[in-house]
Amino acid sequence: MIFNQIKKNRYLILFLIIAFFMLYISRIEYGSHSLDKSMKACIIAQKKLDKSKNIDDIKSFCEREINKKLKK
Protein backbone atom coordinates (compact mmCIF):
# COMPACT_ATOMS: atom_id res chain seq x y z
CA MET A 1 0.00 0.00 0.00
CA ILE A 2 2.69 2.52 0.99
CA PHE A 3 4.81 1.45 -1.96
CA ASN A 4 1.99 2.39 -4.32
CA GLN A 5 1.97 5.92 -2.90
CA ILE A 6 5.74 6.14 -3.27
CA LYS A 7 5.46 4.99 -6.89
CA LYS A 8 2.88 7.69 -7.57
CA ASN A 9 4.99 10.42 -5.97
CA ARG A 10 8.44 9.30 -7.09
CA TYR A 11 9.01 12.37 -9.26
CA LEU A 12 8.09 14.66 -6.39
CA ILE A 13 10.37 12.76 -4.01
CA LEU A 14 13.21 12.78 -6.55
CA PHE A 15 12.72 16.52 -7.12
CA LEU A 16 12.83 17.23 -3.37
CA ILE A 17 16.00 15.20 -2.91
CA ILE A 18 17.72 17.00 -5.78
CA ALA A 19 16.50 20.41 -4.55
CA PHE A 20 17.84 19.79 -1.02
CA PHE A 21 21.15 18.63 -2.45
CA MET A 22 21.47 21.72 -4.67
CA LEU A 23 20.63 24.04 -1.77
CA TYR A 24 23.28 22.36 0.35
CA ILE A 25 25.89 22.74 -2.41
CA SER A 26 25.02 26.41 -2.95
CA ARG A 27 25.32 27.08 0.78
CA ILE A 28 28.80 25.60 0.80
CA GLU A 29 29.83 27.37 -2.41
CA TYR A 30 28.48 30.86 -1.72
CA GLY A 31 28.39 31.00 2.09
CA SER A 32 31.49 33.13 2.42
CA HIS A 33 30.43 35.51 -0.35
CA SER A 34 28.27 37.67 1.91
CA LEU A 35 30.99 37.73 4.57
CA ASP A 36 33.48 39.03 2.02
CA LYS A 37 31.04 41.70 0.86
CA SER A 38 30.43 42.78 4.45
CA MET A 39 34.16 43.04 5.09
CA LYS A 40 34.72 45.15 1.98
CA ALA A 41 31.81 47.44 2.81
CA CYS A 42 33.04 47.91 6.36
CA ILE A 43 36.58 48.70 5.20
CA ILE A 44 35.34 51.27 2.67
CA ALA A 45 33.06 52.91 5.23
CA GLN A 46 35.76 53.08 7.90
CA LYS A 47 38.27 54.51 5.45
CA LYS A 48 35.81 57.24 4.47
CA LEU A 49 35.10 58.07 8.11
CA ASP A 50 38.73 58.28 9.20
CA LYS A 51 41.22 58.85 6.39
CA SER A 52 44.18 58.91 8.76
CA LYS A 53 43.71 55.31 9.97
CA ASN A 54 45.98 52.54 8.74
CA ILE A 55 44.33 49.93 6.48
CA ASP A 56 45.54 47.07 8.72
CA ASP A 57 43.89 48.68 11.75
CA ILE A 58 40.68 49.08 9.78
CA LYS A 59 40.73 45.44 8.66
CA SER A 60 41.24 44.15 12.19
CA PHE A 61 38.47 46.46 13.48
CA CYS A 62 36.06 45.22 10.81
CA GLU A 63 36.90 41.58 11.50
CA ARG A 64 36.21 42.04 15.21
CA GLU A 65 32.94 43.86 14.62
CA ILE A 66 31.64 41.42 12.03
CA ASN A 67 32.56 38.43 14.21
CA LYS A 68 30.71 40.04 17.14
CA LYS A 69 27.59 40.42 15.00
CA LEU A 70 27.81 36.84 13.72
CA LYS A 71 28.08 35.37 17.21
CA LYS A 72 24.84 37.04 18.42
Full pLDDT tens readout for the chain, 72 residues: 666 777 778 888 899 999 999 999 988 887 777 888 889 999 999 999 988 888 899 999 999 998 888 786
Q: What is the 8-class DSSP label of residue 53?
A: S
CB 62 within 8 A of CB 46: yes
Residues with Cβ within 8 Å of 15's Cβ and at least 6 positions away in sequence, in order, are none
Total domains in the chain come to 1
Domain that holds residue 59: 2-71
Q: For the whole model, what pTM was predicted?
A: 0.58
Closest CA to 37 of 60, 62, 64: 62
